Amino acid sequence: MNLIRVNFKPAYTKAPYLRPLISTLIIYIIFVYLLTLNPFRFSLVYFKQYIQFRRGLLAAIIGGSSIDDIILNLIMLFPLGIAIGSFLRVMEYKIKKSVIAATVLGFLISLSIEICQVFLSRSTSGIDIMTNTVGAYLGALLAYPVRGFDFQQFLNKLYVNGRLFYSRVILIYCVVAALILLIPVFVNNFSNWNKTYHLLIGNEATLNRPWKGVIYKLSIFNRKLKKKEITKLHTTNFHKETPFESSSGLLAEYIFTKPQLKKCGIFKDSIMLSPPLDSSCYLTEQSGIRLSGNSLISSQMPPTEFVCSLKKTNRLSIAIWLQPDNLEQDGPARIVSLSKDPDHRNFTLGQSGSRLNFRVRTPLTGLNGSNVELLTPPILTTDKPQFVVATFHRGESKLFCNGKITSSILYDTSYYLPLLLGLSKYHFGRIAFCFMLLFPLGWLARGLVTTKMWKSVISSLIVIVPFLISSLINTLYLHHCYDFQLFFICCFISILLLIIGFVYEFLSA
């Protein structure tokens, strides 16, 4: 008996775009969970609070959504519907079954997200489930011909034509990713600074953040002091004015000596300090001004010209000689601040226990400057005066103590990236943002790969290219330090891409 050999080809080969579409869909679903469940701090406490503040279980389940939420939730699972509908159409399923399958899957994904959010510090709503499901439903419908428009044919043409320009697409992706990595550098400016705030020493204007200790000298610059300058200023006696060669950009300087306050700097007359020294705020016998209780030293008028000068350069350096009375002050206790109250400030240098806290207001750090704040290791002591310098330039924050940077603490690009999408400012948020931005680039690059091992490695390393471009601009133009945390995240994504790529090729063989 003769056997007839039949060459069987799976249905998905009819659509060359289908395999990358499904793999991209899996990545997209991962992104959805990363965005909606961040920062993954599940707790029954949030569930109990949710029920309590929603005034009943029914209200908690139904919830509420704004117009923006409804639109975003419709879009969120729309790609899921398209991918599932396209796949089932190629597998020759009828439109009814395809739409039902995509809708059910969209409902289950949305339901799982909302149930998990009940145990997070996030809001949840039954309306979100409905809009997510409708989005998946509409996406599945689009996969079938609608009034002469065949989405499958569109994807096929896009896939074939896209292969001709693949290298250009990857190049453009790299440039766009580099520009996104540069956004924090250009957004972190003083454009949202308020000109009506007073310069304050020792407290907030509301008198509820007191600091206790002695301040010997305070200098404020509209530029970023260099390491050599900081070392030299540390060796200069705090009774003396800032040396001429380092006084460039000096806006105001206050040397607290007996019997009067010595003022230097460009705006020394427009930032007169008041009220007169009293029993809670007085000059010591040797030098320095002692602050205790609810004492406050404030500028008589808002230093408008002072703020305008800082806004022109978008740079700030605060150099101060101080000695705290104790290491139990918190709040943080305000050492020097340009602010209105505890929730509104341009900048603040404060004490939190034996640590220093530095906040600067920018469009990314918020009105309070606390979205990303620099908190040093325990460095303060009560037995002798200490020289502290805080610098800020386009998102790069540094804090020096006695001429040395505090344990190389540096806040730069990677710390601000999650704020662009409203993600958590913690480690997970930074990793999630970089993963969402760079992983698809590496996955696209793998489309150029042959079976050779070295090409697979190179394609995976392409996610480091946007970092190198942005770092080169930061270093040459702004003189920022390298963001090593961002570099390590890029390396981690490269390794992950390499592993997933090998697994994918093995399963597709």
> How many angstroms separate the Cα of 17 from the Cα of each of 61, 83, 110, 221, 500?
40, 11, 26, 58, 19
Same domain membership, residue 204 and residue 177: no
Question: Which domain, by its residues, includes 38?
Answer: 9-164
Q: pLDDT by residue (tens digit) across 424-462?
A: 777 777 888 888 888 888 877 876 555 567 777 788 888
* Residue 367 reports pLDDT greater than 50: yes
pLDDT exceeds cutoff 70 at 9: no
How many helices (H) and strands (E) the chain has is answered by: 16, 16
Radius of gyration, alpha carbons of the chain: 29
The region of weakest confidence among 138-152, 393-407, 478-492 is 138-152
Are residue 503 and residue 428 in the same domain, yes or no?
Answer: yes
- Shared domain for 146 and 280, answered yes or no, is no
What is the structure's pLDDT at 265? 42
Q: Which pLDDT does position 327 carry in this prediction? A: 92
Mean pLDDT of the chain: 80
Q: Is residue 441 part of a domain?
A: yes
pLDDT over 70 (residue 89): yes
For residue 409, tell me if it sits in a domain: no
In this structure, are 176 and 259 located in the same domain?
Answer: no
Q: Phi, psi (5° rounding) for residue 363?
A: -60, -25
What is the pLDDT at residue 6?
Answer: 40
- The larger pLDDT score, comparing residue 44 to residue 449, is at 44
Assess whether pLDDT exceeds 80 at residue 59: no
Q: pTM of the entire structure?
A: 0.73
Token reading at 259: 């019997």
Query: Which pLDDT score is estimated for 162?
Result: 67
| Whether residues 41 and 142 fall in one domain | yes
Residues 19 and 160 in one domain: yes
The pLDDT, as a whole number, for residue 166 is 76
> In this structure, are 210 and 307 located in the same domain?
yes
Q: Per the domain annotation, does 405 fall within a domain?
A: no
Q: DSSP letter at 411? A: B
Q: Is 490 strand, coil or helix?
A: helix
**26 and 112 housed in the same domain:** yes
The residue with greater pLDDT, 121 or 263, is: 121
347, part of any domain: yes
Q: What is the pLDDT of residue 507?
A: 60
Provide the pLDDT for residue 279: 31
Q: How many domains is the chain partitioned into structurally? A: 3
Output the DSSP codes for 34-93: HHHHTT----HHHHHHHHHHTTSHHHHHH----HHHHHHHHHHTHHHHHHHHHHHHHTT-
* Assigned domain for 145 exists: yes
Residue 318 counted as domain residue: yes
Is residue 386 within a helix (H) or strand (E), and if so which, with residue range? strand 386-393
Q: Is residue 175 part of a domain?
A: yes
Report the C-alpha gap between 414 and 486 in whole angstroms: 6
Amino acid at 146: V
Residues 158 and 169 in one domain: no
Q: What is the mean pLDDT of residues 494-501?
A: 82
